[in-house]
Amino acid sequence: MAVKAELIALLVARTGCSAADCKRALQESDGNIQSAVESLRRRLVAKDARVAQLAPDGGETEPSRRIEAREITQDLPKQTRPDPTGTFVPKELFDPEHPTALAIYCSDGRFTRAVEELTDVHLGNRRLDTLTIAGGPALLTHGAAHPTETDVVRRSASFLIRGHHIRQVVMIAHAGCGFYKDRIPEPHADDRMKAQQIEELQMAARWIRVHHSGLEIRLYYATYDGDRIAFEPVAIDD
Domains and CATH numbers, the chain: 5-73 (no CATH), 101-233 (3.40.1050.10)
The predicted pLDDT at position 225 comes to 95
Enumerate the β-bridge partners of residue 49: none
What is the average pLDDT value for the chain, to the nearest integer?
A: 84
User: 100 pLDDT exceeds 80?
Assistant: yes
Q: Identify which has the larger pLDDT, 76 or 29.
A: 29
The predicted pLDDT at position 126 comes to 93
- The whole-model pTM stands at 0.68
**99: Cβ contacts below 8 Å, ≥ 6 apart:** 125, 127, 128, 129, 164
Mean pLDDT of 88-108: 94
Mean pLDDT of 95-103: 97
In this prediction, residue 68 has a pLDDT band, given cuts at 50, 70 and 90, of: low
pLDDT in tens, 25-63: 888 877 777 778 888 877 776 654 444 444 444 444 444
User: 231 pLDDT exceeds 50?
Assistant: yes
